[in-house]
Chain A
Amino acid sequence: MTPDPDPPARSSTPSARRGTVSMTKELEETEEPREPGPPEHDAPLPPDLATGEHDRRHRTHRPWSARRIPAALVASVILVAAAAALFDVVAVRAGRPAAAWRRHLADELATRPLDDVWVLTGAVVAAALGIWLIVLSLTPGLRHWLPLRSPAPGLRASLDRDGAADLLRDAAMRVPGVSTARVRVRRHRVKARADVRFRDPQQVKDDLTAVLDEERDQLVLARPPRIVVRVRRRTD
């Protein structure tokens, strides 16, 4: 899957709001917001500063997709339908007979009653498609990208879910006793399954949990998922 090249939402970040004020105001504020930001997240801070910093660092919303593909599809359908109707209307005005599809369509629309099964099916499909388009327009999308804690305002980062799974799997393979590991990363939960070839499975499971927790913290995810570990003894 290619990454969506479109930018994320910007409306809720503090610097986006500054973007609307005048240039001189921006110039004055250029250096100011960076002053109080200590590089260490865990450093002890005065309460007001701590909450401000906490707020800024954790307000990492998921980037919102531009919905280019659904928009292109809907635009193409509208374009084709409008162009076909336009050509036929113009042809009829120019004295040619109407196209077969138009006569057929007009005939069907004029004869099929509303309780006809095809009309009802079409209505159900249209309503379902409508709900789907509304859902698409209101949800963020980009479910394949996990937002990361950002080191600075104005910077937004996300990690590919497959990439996170690869890193976690490599960490799991480093645990002694693990012969194979499969990691599945979802948005709120990580499932790790490992085959144990030697050592006590319970001990391997404890080690795996510790290692995966540590590796997950290195991924700096904005919403760290829960890790579920399952081990199985290989008997062959």
Chain B
Amino acid sequence: MTPRTVLNRGLLALAGLVLLGGGLLILFAGLDIYRRHDLVPPVGWPLTTPHDVLLGSADRARWSSQGWWWWPAVIAALILVALLALWWLLAQLHRRHPGALPVGGTPPQEGVELRDHALSDAIAAEAGALPGVEHATVHITGRPAHPRTHVTLTLTPQGAPGAALAALWEGPLRTARRSTGSPGTAHMHTDVRLQVAHDKPHRAQ
């Protein structure tokens, strides 16, 4: 999994746990489950009986009379939360491109580098010319040392996925590996998505 996948899934799980925990806390007290089943909530448990309120005015008064630092602390915490949320949101929007791929190993030998767009355009052109392939799009993402190639192939309705995949591996992807020749791209992870161009059902004659 990429770092972003791990981050997204971790934060989603955290948000889910907070929501689930809060909801269950209210439900247990609101439906009076502690008393009905003779459960004793621990000392200091926030909500215990159906007559509690979520945030009483006494609580609010107690919190805001903590001292001069209370409101600056609240403001700082809110700014921090808002900035983290903004950063998390922006992380979904952009895709990381390696920029230039080193040719012959990292650090680049003799400073030879290959633009990622040049490589992906070359793969796309060669892949689009394969038999049974109508159209190909290629993106290269990740860091220069660990690039990932994403290929989307649109097959013609007569195409065979197995044959197209084998031809892609033996043709354009082998050329790409040979032309960079660096260890990172030798193990370049490749993700291929195959689609089929839509056509009207036709009757066999």
**A45 part of interface (Cβ distance < 8 Å):** no
What is the minimal beta-carbon distance from A218 to any residue of chain B, in angstroms?
Answer: 5
Q: Give chain A interface residues in 83-141, CB to chain B under 8 Å.
A: 83, 85-86, 89-90, 93, 106, 109-116, 119-120, 122-138
Residues of A contacting B26 with CB < 8 Å? 114, 119-120, 122-123, 126
Instruction: Considering the complex, give the chain A residue whose CB is closest to the CB of B29.
Output: A114
Determine whether the beta carbon of A86 is less than 8 Å from that of B88.
no
Question: B41 at the A/B interface (Cβ < 8 Å)?
Answer: no
Task: Chain B residues near A74: list those with CB within 8 A.
Answer: 11-12, 15
The stretch of A48-56, A145-153, A227-235 in contact with B is A145-153
The 8 A CB mask of B143-168 against A (1 = contact, 0 = none) is 00010101010010100111101100
Q: Are B201 and A131 in contact (CB under 8 A)?
A: no
Question: A90 vs B190: C-alpha distance in the bound complex, in angstroms?
Answer: 50
* Pick from A79, A112, A133: contact of B13, CB under 8 Å: A133
Q: Once bound together, how far apart are the Cα atoms of A72 and B89, in whole Å?
A: 5
Please give, as numbers and ranges, the residues of chain B lying within 8 Å of A130 by CB-CB distance: 15-23
Task: Check: A82 CB closer than 8 A to any chain B CB.
Answer: yes
CA distance A128 to B60 in the complex (A): 28
Measured between beta carbons, the chain A residues less than 8 angstroms from B4 are 6, 66
Q: CB of A160 within 8 A of chain B?
A: yes
| Docked pose: A163 CA to B183 CA in angstroms | 35
Question: Is B166 a contact partner of A82 (Cβ separation < 8 A)?
Answer: no
Number of interface residues of A (CB under 8 A): 98
Query: Which listed residue, B53, B169, B195, B199, touches A113 by the CB 8 Å rule?
Result: B53
- Comparing B79-87, B113-121, B123-131, the segment that makes contact with chain A is B79-87
Q: If A130-B21, A137-B13 touch, does A119 touch B74 (CB 8 Å cutoff)? A: no
Chain A nearest Cβ from B200, distance in angstroms? 10
Residues of B within 8 Å of A123, CB to CB, are: 22-24, 26-27, 30
A36 at the interface (CB under 8 A from B): no
Is A38 positioned at the interface, with any CB of B under 8 Å from its CB? no
B162 & A220 in contact (Cβ 8 Å cutoff) = yes
Separation of A135 and B81 alpha carbons in the complex (Å): 24
Q: Is the CB of B82 within 8 A of A5?
A: no
Q: Assess whether B202 is interfacial by the CB under 8 Å rule.
A: yes
User: Which A residues touch B75, using CB under 8 A?
Assistant: 86, 89-90, 93
Interface residues, chain B, with chain A CB atoms under 8 Å away: 1-2, 4-5, 8-13, 15-24, 26-27, 29-32, 47, 49-57, 60, 71, 74-75, 78-79, 81-82, 85-86, 88-89, 92-93, 95, 105-106, 139, 141-142, 146, 148, 150, 152, 155, 157, 160-163, 165-166, 169, 173, 183, 186-196, 198-199, 201-204
| 6 A-B pairs closest in CB distance | A130-B20, A127-B23, A133-B16, A163-B196, A130-B19, A126-B23
